[in-house]
C-alpha cells in the first residue's frame, strides 16, 4: 500500500527537506550566499544544528512512508516531523534576526521558507492517513 497519496506527500516532503535546502540559499549578504552546507563550517553550534534538522526531517519523513501498516504510528511520526520543522523555522527566524551585519543589506533566501512547505505537505499527508484510518474503522464496524 505504498501507492497511497500520503506516501507521495511524504516523499515530496522528504525531497524538499533533504534536497532543495542544498539548492536554494538560506540568506545572502553583500559578500556571499549562505547555503545549508556552509553552516557546517561555522563555529556556532546553533548554526550547525540547522542542516542537521533539515536532514533529520528528510530522513524521518522518508522512513515514515514505510510505516503504512501502522497508521496510528505513521500519524504520530507525521506530527513529530511537523514539530521538527516548526522548531527549525523558529530557529531560522531567530538566526535571521540576529545575523551579524544585518545593518548592511542582507536578503532572506527561499531556503528559509522550505520548512513551511514541508509542514504543509505533512499536514496533507496526515489528513490522508486520518481518512484511511476512519475508512478502516467504518469497515470494521460493519463486520
**Is pLDDT of 29 > 60?**
yes
Q: How far is CA 9 from CA 119, 123, 128, in A?
A: 11, 9, 9
**Is pLDDT of 51 > 70?**
yes
Percentage of the chain lying above the pLDDT 70 cut: 90
Pick the closest to residue 84 from 8, 23, 18, 131 (CA basis). 18
Look at residue 9 in the predicted model and tell me its pLDDT. Answer: 96
pLDDT tens column, 99-138: 666 555 567 778 888 999 999 999 999 999 999 988 888 8
Look at residue 122 in the predicted model and tell me its pLDDT. Answer: 97
Look at residue 88 in the predicted model and tell me its pLDDT. Answer: 93
**Is pLDDT of 80 > 90?**
yes
Q: Find the mean pLDDT for residues 39-58.
A: 86
Where does the pLDDT of residue 81 fall: very low under 50, low under 70, confident under 90, or very high at 90 and above? very high
**Of residues 48 and 27, more confidently modeled:** 48
Determine which of 1-15, 46-60, 77-91, 95-109 has the lowest per-residue pLDDT on average: 95-109
Pick the closest to residue 112 from 130, 126, 91, 131 (CA basis). 91
* Average pLDDT along the chain: 86
Sequence-ordered list of residues with C-beta below 8 angstroms from that of 132, at least 6 positions apart, any chain = 4, 6, 71
**Of residues 2 and 84, more confidently modeled:** 84
Q: Find the mean pLDDT for residues 71-78.
A: 94
Amino acid at each position: 500500500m505504498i501507492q497511497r497519496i500520503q506516501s507521495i506527500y511524504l516523499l515530496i516532503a522528504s525531497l524538499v527537506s533533504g534536497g532543495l535546502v542544498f539548492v536554494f540559499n538560506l540568506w545572502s549578504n553583500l559578500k556571499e550566499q549562505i547555503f545549508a552546507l556552509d553552516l557546517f563550517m561555522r563555529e556556532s553550534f546553533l548554526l550547525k544544528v540547522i542542516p542537521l534538522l533539515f536532514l533529520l526531517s528528510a530522513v524521518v519523513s522518508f522512513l515514515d512512508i514505510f510505516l503504512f501498516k501502522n497508521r496510528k504510528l505513521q500519524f504520530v511520526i507525521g506530527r513529530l516531523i511537523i514539530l521538527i520543522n516548526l522548531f527549525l523555522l523558529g530557529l531560522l527566524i531567530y538566526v535571521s534576526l540576529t545575523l551579524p551585519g544585518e545593518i548592511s543589506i542582507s536578503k532572506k533566501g527561499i531556503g528559509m521558507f522550505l520548512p513551511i512547505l514541508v509542514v504543509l505537505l505533512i499536514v496533507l499527508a496526515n489528513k490522508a492517513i486520518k481518512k484511511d484510518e476512519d475508512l478502516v474503522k467504518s469497515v470494521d464496524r460493519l463486520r
